[in-house]
Amino acid sequence: MKKDSNTRFPDRSGMIWYFMKGSVRYFLAAILFAALVSFLDMVSPKIITFTVDSVIGDDAPAVSPFILSWIERAGGVGYLKTHLLLLALLIAAIGVGAALFRYLFRVNNARGAETLVERMRNTLFGHIMYLPYTWLGENSTGDIIQRCTSDVQTVRRFVAEQLTSLVRTVVLIVMALGFMLSVDRRVTLASAAFIPVVMGYSLFFHMKIGGEFKKADEEEGVLSTIAQENLTGVRVVRAFGREIYERDRFEKQNDRYTGVWVRLIRLMSMFWSSGDVVTGLQVLTVISLSASYCVHGTMTAGEFIAMVAYNQMLIWPVRRLGRVISEMSKAGVAVDRLRYIMNAEKEKDPEDAVEPPLDGDIVFDHVSFSYDGKETGEVLHDVSFTIPSGSTIGILGGTGSGKSTLLYLLLRLYELPPENGHITIGGTDIRRIRAGYLRENLGIVLQEPFLFSKTLSENIAIASPAAQEDAVRYAARIAQVDDAIESFTKGYDTFVGERGVTLSGGQKQRTAIAQMLIRKPPVMIFDDSLSAVDADTDRRIRTSLRESIASSTVILVAHRITTLMSADKIIVLDRGRIAEEGTHNELIEKDGIYRTIFELQKAGLAEEVS
């Protein structure tokens, strides 16, 4: 990946160190205890060699003067010959110490790993919450979830299981080679000759594994997206009898994902099998040479035991080092996928962002907009109109006419380029208004509202957690959903399933209206949010709204003329342009789009009545 000096994390190591804040001390402690374990593991074979050759046998102690002085203080070799239990207790004590340090290593390593994962998850989630709406639209939810779960675990495993053991591995290799050299240089060099072989095939597989793991990660993201879409859209799948089609689609993608992993496992199997062959040859070489030297009298029995033991200790860290190299492929891919999220730029307010009163006139001044930034793909073209403070404006238009785009621009979910016009509230350009403040004061109810897995009371008060029960019920009565809620066995304590699946479409819309009303924003936007209620309920909601929010500015987007006809002004959009505007009576007198739609809906209503 090309480095960019403007990105937050231009390289992998920078992001890893950022995530490790708070967990470094645990990993450092784990490395220290791992080094102590390695040292104690290396001491035992030396004691065994001394016992076999000098205590049980008659060879002179092959130890340093410092160690020899301690032996003399303990009574000398002669004393130890009659008190072998002391040497056994010493080895046992070393074993207990190694066990204690190994425990402390694992505890600190685990604490460091879990602290790292906690920080990674919190940071990623917090960052995603402030990413632009456009970014979230360009990236599938399933893939984002996969990055924040599977990729996070991959990084955790590498840091906790591979990176922290790297120091211990290096220490073990150095110590093992050092102790082996003190026994026999020839056997040591023969054993060490296999280390570059292990490094060589590890680097080879490192390059192969990285590409396959990236494919596996991407295929898992697609699989997660399919599963997420079907679980959240289960009612649509059932309603259209798409179970077999969706199952086949899932199975096809799962086959692709499985195929990639089979190839990856084949590579990993070749990697470990190669390691088994090289390790076997290394063990065979060391045992054969040591046995030969022992037979010819150039190596003692104790040295033979020590050499074999040290070689066994050397095998694991060398292979571990090779595994670290291969696992870097997986970790590198995972880190890059997380960097993609962390380097996505958050929404930014200008340094001089303001928080003005938002109860003034709303003005769209020559607004043009396209999602791809090209004139040929314009969704809105030179749109200009004014919404006086406290008035109600209706917006009518066919699919793709730009109705929702107008609202998203007003909420700054999409940023309007400076050369594409201006949107002002009370004379202040919304680009200068702090985005969070703007959205807090512009309430919106979508055509397909989203309800969380909470009670109805909690869902209504979700934007105002401090709201009292009376306020919740008042908002529900204005939204004409109070009677429906009271009809449930648990009333306002009724638990709403994921995305509100336990409620009808009309009940969800009315709950979402109550959700907005409890905030009492100065600007209220209804994006075709009465489409799922019947005409009588629509009328009662509009009447109740007029009586309770007379001072608020209301923007009604709808396809139903009866919803819009009482608005102070109605704007008709056609292909991103204002085709007509005026009151209901003024538009009826014109022979235009509005009148045509009105006549069609009127005729349809008459047929239903008859």
The pLDDT of residue 363 is 94
Phi, psi of 109 (to 5 degrees): -65, -40
My answer on whether 141 and 283 are in the same domain is yes
In sequence order, what are the beta bridge partners of 425? 362, 428
Residue 198 belongs to domain with CATH number:
1.20.1560.10
Residue 4 placed within a domain: no
Single out the residue of 153, 495, 168 nearest to residue 317, CA to CA.
Answer: 168
Q: pTM of the full predicted structure?
A: 0.70
Confidence of residue 7 (pLDDT cuts 50, 70, 90): low
Ordered strands of the 378-387 beta sheet: 378-387, 362-370, 422-425, 428-429
The pLDDT of residue 610 is 44
Q: Which stretch of 196-200, 331-335, 520-524, 588-592 has the lowest confidence by average pLDDT?
A: 196-200
Q: Which two tokens stand for residue 458?
A: 């909690």
Please identify, among 289, 309, 342, the residue that sits at the C-terminal boundary of a domain: 342
- Determine the 3-state secondary structure of 510 from DSSP: helix
Residue 356 placed within a domain: no
Q: Average pLDDT, stretch 474-492?
A: 85
My answer on whether 328 and 371 are in the same domain is no
- Give pLDDT tens digits for 533-589: 677 777 787 778 777 776 788 898 888 888 888 889 999 998 889 999 999 999 998
- Give pLDDT tens digits for 167-182: 777 777 777 777 777 7
The segment with the largest mean pLDDT, out of 298-312, 316-330, 349-363, 463-477, is 349-363
Confidence of residue 64 (pLDDT cuts 50, 70, 90): low
The pLDDT of residue 147 is 87
| Residue 251 predicted with pLDDT over 60 | yes
Residue 99 placed within a domain: yes
My answer on whether 333 and 369 are in the same domain is no
How far is 607 from 603, CA to CA, in rounded Å? 6
| Residue 246 predicted with pLDDT over 60 | yes
| Residue 3 predicted with pLDDT over 50 | no
Full DSSP string of 352-383: T-B---S-S-EEEEEEEEETTS-GGGEEEEEE
Higher per-residue confidence, 576 vs 500: 576
My answer on whether 154 and 243 are in the same domain is yes
My answer on whether 115 and 47 are in the same domain is yes
How far is 447 from 200, CA to CA, in rounded Å? 60
| Residue 404 predicted with pLDDT over 80 | yes
Full DSSP string of 269-294: HHHHHHHHHHHHHHHHHHHHHHHHHH
How far is 67 from 61, CA to CA, in rounded Å? 10
The pLDDT of residue 4 is 40
Mean per-residue pLDDT over the chain, rounded: 81
My answer on whether 370 and 408 are in the same domain is yes
My answer on whether 370 and 331 are in the same domain is no
My answer on whether 223 and 105 are in the same domain is yes
Q: List C-alpha distances in Å: 104 to 115, 263, 385, 490.
A: 16, 38, 70, 51
Higher per-residue confidence, 13 vs 345: 345
Q: Which two tokens stand for residue 164?
A: 């922290």
Element (H, E) at 114: helix 84-129
Long-range contacts of 229-233 (CB under 8 A, 24+ apart): 229/142, 232/498, 232/499
In sequence order, what are the beta bridge partners of 423? 364
Please identify, among 342, 375, 393, the residue that sits at the C-terminal boundary of a domain: 342
C-alpha 416, offset from chain centre: 29
- Give pLDDT tens digits for 197-209: 877 777 777 667 7
Higher per-residue confidence, 395 vs 53: 395
The pLDDT of residue 423 is 94
Residue 1 placed within a domain: no
My answer on whether 178 and 288 are in the same domain is yes
* Cβ neighbours for 482, distance < 8 A, ≥ 6 positions apart: 473, 476
My answer on whether 312 and 369 are in the same domain is no
How big, in percent rounded to 5, are the helix, strand and coil portions of the chain?
Answer: 65, 10, 25
pLDDT over 90 for what percent of the chain?
A: 14
Q: Are 554 and 393 in contact (CB under 8 A)?
A: yes
* Cβ neighbours for 440, distance < 8 A, ≥ 6 positions apart: 519, 521
The pLDDT of residue 393 is 92
How far is 514 from 4, CA to CA, in rounded Å? 46
Q: Which residue's structure tokens are 């060490």?
A: 192
Other CB atoms closer than 10 Å to residue 599's CB: what's the count? 12
Q: Are 219 and 211 in contact (CB under 8 A)?
A: no
Residue 6 placed within a domain: no
Higher per-residue confidence, 63 vs 542: 542
The pLDDT of residue 60 is 53
User: What sign results for the dihedral spanned by CA atoms 141, 144, 149, 151?
Assistant: positive
Q: Which residue's structure tokens are 């086949």?
A: 248
Other CB atoms closer than 10 Å to residue 401's CB: what's the count? 21
Other CB atoms closer than 10 Å to residue 295's CB: what's the count? 10
Please identify, among 342, 373, 396, the residue that sits at the C-terminal boundary of a domain: 342
The pLDDT of residue 375 is 62
Residue 353 placed within a domain: no
The pLDDT of residue 253 is 87
Q: Which domain holds residue 436?
A: 362-609
Higher per-residue confidence, 217 vs 396: 396
Residue 355 placed within a domain: no
Long-range contacts of 22-28 (CB under 8 A, 24+ apart): 22/115, 22/119, 23/111, 23/112, 23/113, 23/115, 23/116, 23/119, 24/112, 25/112, 26/108, 26/109, 26/111, 26/112, 26/115, 27/108, 27/109, 27/112, 27/159, 27/163, 27/164
Residue 394 belongs to domain with CATH number:
3.40.50.300
| Residue 2 predicted with pLDDT over 80 | no
Q: Give the count of domains, the chain.
A: 2
Phi-psi region of 117 (alpha: psi -120 to 50; beta: other; left: phi over 0): alpha
My answer on whether 465 and 514 are in the same domain is yes
How far is 87 from 79, CA to CA, in rounded Å? 11
The pLDDT of residue 376 is 63
Residue 351 placed within a domain: no
Q: Are 460 and 518 in contact (CB under 8 A)?
A: yes
My answer on whether 299 and 417 are in the same domain is no
